[in-house]
Amino acid sequence: MLFTEKTAAEKRVALRAALASGHLLRFPGAHAPIVAMEAERHGFEGIYISGAALSADLGLPDIGLTTLPEVVQRGRQIARVTSLPALIDVDTGFGEAMNAARTIQELEELGLAGCHLEDQVNPKRCGHLDNKVLVARDEMVRKIRAAVGARRDANFLIMARTDARASEGMTAAIDRARAYVDAGADAIFPEAMQDAGEFETFRKAVPVPLLANITEFGKTPLLTAKQLADIGYNIVIYPVTTLRLAMKAVRDGLAEIAATGTQTGVLDRMQTRKELYDLIRYEDYNRFDRSVFNFRI
């Protein structure tokens, strides 16, 4: 009950098999364990743990302020409650090449199925903001090699994200992606593509699994899963969608209580007690408790 029955190693094997299937894998963002549980119920293929969403959950901007312990422990809490593989955003790897290597080993031990590292300098910026600054290509290559060399489970997915499209152009972004693949990256995350044609260009140029970031209010149009599947992408993430949905509902609900002095007017927008208990398997815990404490004094 406390942990999913599927082991971390089994989830990694499942992710590798799913990537090889040719089907598009949908990974909604989960900033909390209970969100991951709900996502699994809806038939998604994996869970995405967004650095931007985790930062926002802590009341911080997405500029590299979160630390390795904060991110990996939150990743563990989210990954452990679902049988789905969890892919986590580790920004720039929390330092230089040796830090990136340690990050990979921490993530493996804590049950994650994979991660992505990006080629921005630290402090970083959100991928859909302007004026991003990138590390030199060779520096990122060294970081990827260190990360791959530190991996102990060959099925742990190491993905490289490049933010070069916005600051260096499409050709440079593709050149960087190819260099990252040569360095050992299993997959590539081309950030801030601006139209379907750019997704297609990247797909034709880079022969490894590719991730599409379909985030709201950014530079990328909200392409459908079918469009991305037809182009040949392997993973689509919706990184901050659930957080945005939740926070809009929280804001509206609090505004109602502040204005009226009661939550009566928003009850129909709430998850009920029964729905919550069903999701977190409350009755399973009750049954376990009764099976242990079944004696009489």
- Active site amino acids: 48, 62, 89, 91, 116, 118, 126, 161, 191, 213
- The dihedral through the CA atoms of 195, 200, 205, 206 has a sign that is positive
Amino acid at 92: T
Q: Are 169 and 192 in contact (CB under 8 A)?
A: no
Q: Is 158 helix (H, G, I), strand (E, B) or coil?
A: strand
Question: What is d(CA 114, CA 112) in angstroms, rounded to the nearest whole number?
Answer: 6
Question: What is d(CA 273, CA 174) in angstroms, rounded to the nearest whole number?
Answer: 50
105 contacts: CB under 8 Å, gap ≥ 6: 150, 151, 152
Question: What is d(CA 249, CA 123) in angstroms, rounded to the nearest whole number?
Answer: 31
Question: What is d(CA 101, CA 5) in angstroms, rounded to the nearest whole number?
Answer: 28
